[in-house]
Structure 1
Amino acid sequence: MSCSSSSGEEDDEGFDSYRKGGYHAVRLADQFAAGRYIAQRKLGWGQFSTVWLAYDTKTSSYVALKIQKSAAQFVQAALHEIDVLSSVADSDPSNSKFVIQLIDHFKHTGPNGQHLCMVLEFLGDSLLRLIRYNHYKGLPLNKVREICKCVLIGLDYLHTDLGIIHSDLKPENILLCSTIDPAKDPFRSEHSPILERPEGNANGGVTSLIEKRLKSRARKAVAKISGRRESMGGSGDVENSGRVDGIDVRCKIVDFGNACWADKHFAEEIQTRQYRAPEVILKAGYSFSVDMWSFACIAFELATGDMLFTPKDGQGFSEDEDHLALMMELLGKMARKIATGGALSKDFFDRHGDLKRIRRLKFFPLDKLLIDKYKFSVNDAQEFSEFLLPLFDFAPEKRPTARQCLQHPWLKCPNEEENESSVNVEMSNLKIKGGK
């Protein structure tokens, strides 16, 4: 979890985790780093940390404050992330590479232990939130292109300049540079920062969690009683068509908790399931090209609203085997040398390179899928497929690099005028506001 303006609203982190070794309970207007940072509101949470909007009194700007759980393994994970983010920031002083910037880090002692804290630039909503906001309809291709350019510039910087593999690229880990809703952006909403704790807010974050759960139950009860009239009003698709047109989709890669250097891996099993490359499933070794596979999965998801691969286990076969079968149904049979070349290949493939337990594959090429299921024009489907398919090469060394992808004709948008907010000028007007 990184510094998104909003996340985890479907659920919360659970107040049981506010204990020794766990989360630090934060209250509105709590002070950190000897009063430099003042907590404004919670932005989100993750397995390792909570993230808060904070006001930086030194620079008079807003930042995201990521507060790690205090147990030793979480401290170690935070130290690793700080190490990676420091490399990112040191090599990009102009903040122009579409990768999140670390501003500061420090230790904070609380009732549950000592917590490592990271101060990051404040960013907007995740691409997952953008996909949901658009009702899983698929974004206009000009928006997909612009997002792809940002992510590719970020990946080229990480891979080529720093030798870093992100290893967990997914829509949740790419954040827009500004919020979808201007009211949630402290820069645009022009709300004055809260510098002192309001009256009657003496209880900690745990109490607010309980209140949140009670309010949520109350809302659900009211919705049930009213027969969910709001869902019957027909306010959906017509009202929301074209709703993403005015949104600035420039974005940055975030969350480096699982990142590693190409010459120093920390784990064999990497990547979130739906974005996992075949060489990771087969334990055949990995490098920068795993991020390129994930990137291609994200590009498809942005354009269609659906995940490309959603494997499930079934009678007699595992989730891994189903995942490999889905890949081959879309991309064609895996070459025998690749299918049998990983440490786990014998779990899934026979010596001929055929899956052991899923024998009948239904081949359905990508351009046909885009036309038949997602109603792309023939031309759009062909051009988009030509961009994506090389990234889905089963041979990792054959996948194009981020830099090569940036030269692809599909990103040039020949029929569209590039507007001023385009990514051609990298990030000149998106430097940390009031920051370094």
Structure 2
Amino acid sequence: MALSRTSARPRSIPSRRSLAFIVSWRAPTPLRPLFSTPIQPSQHRNLPTDWPTHSCDVDAEQLHHYCKGGYHPVHLGDSLNNGRYKILHKLGWGGYSTVWAARDTRNQTFVAIKIWVSEPTHNSRELTALRAIVTARSNRPGYQYLMTMQDYFQIHGPNGTHDYIITERLGPSVANFLDGYSGSVRLPGRLAKTIAKQTLSSLSFLHEHKIAHADLHTRNLAFTLPTSHEQDLLQKLGEPETAPVRQTDRQPLEPNQPIYFVRPTAYPINPKTPLYLNQTHRLRPSTLYIPLYYRAPEILFNNTLNHRVDLWSMGCVLFELITGQPPFDTFLITPPILVSQMLEMSGDTLPDCWQKQWYAINSKQLSDDEDRSFQSWLEQDLSKEDIIRVGALVGSMIRLEPSARASVNTVLQDAWFQAS
């Protein structure tokens, strides 16, 4: 396949801005401001839908989620797990968790701490996957690029019992890096190739151990960070910005609510640090929260899912790394438009089992417009042979029939990745 997008709307050149510090787990709703997609409505069954309004000068999680079954209130300087971990800064938040930078006083290292809401959710699936990775500890290629769990404990707080997952602290996401790299819209070819190879290697390790990632995209890939002293870390993270929380009805805050919010930190990028895979899931996931434009067609058609959803996503990741933009439109995308683009991109015929459903939902036609200068733009630092080879690799993974997709190892062993 040729490396050309199916949409007439190429992603605009992003302005240079401060980059968000990526956390190492995916929450069911995207984290803000770590991710550019808007926060989605909470899916907690027991959290209130009517709440007193509040105001705060810091954009953060909703105050009404600090309730029974909800978030655990955390403040800067708090000590956790018998004083072992000291809270230094906030990294992000999502619909089911908050994530914090902390100092491990026992090992004199810096870690990331994810604190789940106390209401039972699917966090047990994440915990199972992280434990499986620890159990599978190996010298095999790919393991060194995986985010691993360093500690786990529970805390009983005013809103219930909360799971705490400790991992190494990670840096910015690849998506943030793509947005901010020298004001350009794509990475240099050699760097993009290195990131792709590391991602394939770690994905191969997961699949060998019967674990599917199931949420693979550039916002769930993160760079590691060099070790540093606490003052050096805080200097890089910046002084925590806090703002008091006020309820507009002038009622006092509840004891189970934080007295202030902390703005999630930003972190400078370092293109030389190795890449780690983000959140993992067991094989055959039943519910996925991957962005629409990264979803494999079997997800859109509510088909049985297996590890091959990762192969489709990896094809999309490879395309975005090389070109700087996703293979499918991200602006006002709908499932019918996306399926049309999939058909055009892959050159496949829709499998018979999906035909009836497709005719039921197909209501839009895809524009044939195309950016004619796309290939010449890529050729600034990629040879024509590189472009052709990457196009073939993307095409081998973006196949509508899951069983027809090239495996991770097949792609990883391709001569293009084996070449220095």
TM range (shorter): 0.7 to 0.9
- Select which of 239, 260, 264 maps to 2:282: 260
C-alpha RMSD of matched pairs (Å): 3.3
Q: What secondary structure sits across from 2:260 in the alignment?
A: helix
- Select which of 309, 319, 325 maps to 2:334: 319
Distance 1:328 1:407, change over 3 A: same
| 8 Å CA contact retained: 1:136, 1:304 | no
Shift of residue 88, structure 1, vs aligned partner: 0.5
| 8 Å CA contact retained: 1:44, 1:50 | yes
Q: Report the counterpart of residue 379 of structure 1 in structure 2.
A: 385
Q: Does 1:80 align with 2:80?
A: no
- Select which of 336, 345, 358 maps to 1:348: 358
Deviations 1:235-254 (A, max 9, x none): xxxxxxxx98x621421111
Shift of residue 375, structure 1, vs aligned partner: 5.8
C-alpha separation in 2, matches of 1:121 and 1:212: 21
What is the TM-score when the length of structure 1 is the normalising length? 0.70
| 8 Å CA contact retained: 1:312, 1:323 | no
Q: Report the counterpart of residue 319 of structure 2 in structure 1.
A: 300
Shift of residue 303, structure 1, vs aligned partner: 2.2
Q: Does 1:23 align with 2:71?
A: yes
Shift of residue 270, structure 1, vs aligned partner: 5.4
| 8 Å CA contact retained: 1:107, 1:116 | yes
Shift of residue 57, structure 1, vs aligned partner: 1.7
| 8 Å CA contact retained: 1:170, 1:294 | yes
Shift of residue 144, structure 1, vs aligned partner: 0.9
Q: Which structure is richer in relative contact order (CA contacts within 8 A, separation 6 or more)? A: 2
Shift of residue 123, structure 1, vs aligned partner: 1.5
Q: Report the counterpart of residue 121 of structure 1 in structure 2.
A: 168
C-alpha separation in 2, matches of 1:116 and 1:297: 33
Shift of residue 202, structure 1, vs aligned partner: 13
C-alpha separation in 1, matches of 2:401 and 2:24: 34
Shift of residue 193, structure 1, vs aligned partner: 8.4
Q: Report the counterpart of residue 233 of structure 1 in structure 2.
A: none
Shift of residue 369, structure 1, vs aligned partner: 7.6
Q: What secondary structure sits across from 2:228 in the alignment?
A: helix
| 8 Å CA contact retained: 2:243, 2:260 | no
Q: Name the structure with the higher strand share.
A: 2
C-alpha separation in 1, matches of 2:177 and 2:325: 13
Distance 1:189 1:55, change over 3 A: closer
C-alpha separation in 1, matches of 2:184 and 2:302: 33
Deviations 1:180-230 (A, max 9, x none): xxxxx6x23652789xxx9xx998984432x859xxxxxxxxxxxxxxxxx
Distance 1:193 1:413, change over 3 A: closer
The aligned amino acid for 1:144 is: A
Q: Report the counterpart of residue 406 of structure 1 in structure 2.
A: 412
For residues 148-167 of structure 1, what are the structure 2 equivalents within 5 Å?
Answer: 148-160=196-208, 162-167=209-214
Q: Name the structure with the higher helix share.
A: 1
What is the TM-score when the length of structure 2 is the normalising length? 0.73
Identity of aligned residues (%): 25
Deviations 1:252-296 (A, max 9, x none): 11123xx1224xx433x5532111011221233232221011111
C-alpha separation in 1, matches of 2:317 and 2:362: 29
Shift of residue 329, structure 1, vs aligned partner: 2.3
Q: Report the counterpart of residue 260 of structure 2 in structure 1.
A: 208
C-alpha separation in 1, matches of 2:137 and 2:327: 33
- Select which of 101, 108, 117 maps to 2:155: 108
C-alpha separation in 1, matches of 2:244 and 2:83: 20
Deviations 1:80-129 (A, max 9, x none): 21111000011115694411101111111222221111011211111121
Mean CA deviation greater in 49-58 or 377-386: 377-386
For residues 4-403 of structure 1, what are the structure 2 equivalents within 5 Å?
Answer: 8=33, 11-73=59-121, 77-92=122-137, 96-134=143-181, 135=183, 137-160=185-208, 162-178=209-225, 187-188=227-228, 191=231, 206-209=258-261, 247-256=271-280, 259-262=281-284, 265-267=285-287, 271-310=290-329, 319-332=334-347, 334-336=348-350, 338=351, 340-342=352-354, 345-349=355-359, 356-358=362-364, 362=368, 370-371=374-375, 378-403=384-409
Shift of residue 312, structure 1, vs aligned partner: 6.3
Deviations 1:383-406 (A, max 9, x none): 221221111122211211111111
Q: What secondary structure sits across from 2:145 in the alignment?
A: coil
C-alpha separation in 1, matches of 2:243 and 2:86: 15
| 8 Å CA contact retained: 1:3, 1:43 | no
C-alpha separation in 2, matches of 1:391 and 1:294: 8
Q: 5+ unaligned residues in a row in structure 2: which ranges? A: 1-21, 26-30, 37-58, 246-256
Distance 1:249 1:409, change over 3 A: farther
| 8 Å CA contact retained: 2:340, 2:365 | no
Q: What secondary structure sits across from 1:328 in the alignment?
A: helix
| 8 Å CA contact retained: 1:139, 1:302 | yes
Shift of residue 374, structure 1, vs aligned partner: 5.2
C-alpha separation in 2, matches of 1:359 and 1:28: 52
| 8 Å CA contact retained: 1:289, 1:397 | yes
Deviations 1:315-365 (A, max 9, x none): xxx921111101122222x325x1x314xx423237xxxx8434566386x
C-alpha separation in 2, matches of 1:110 and 1:20: 10
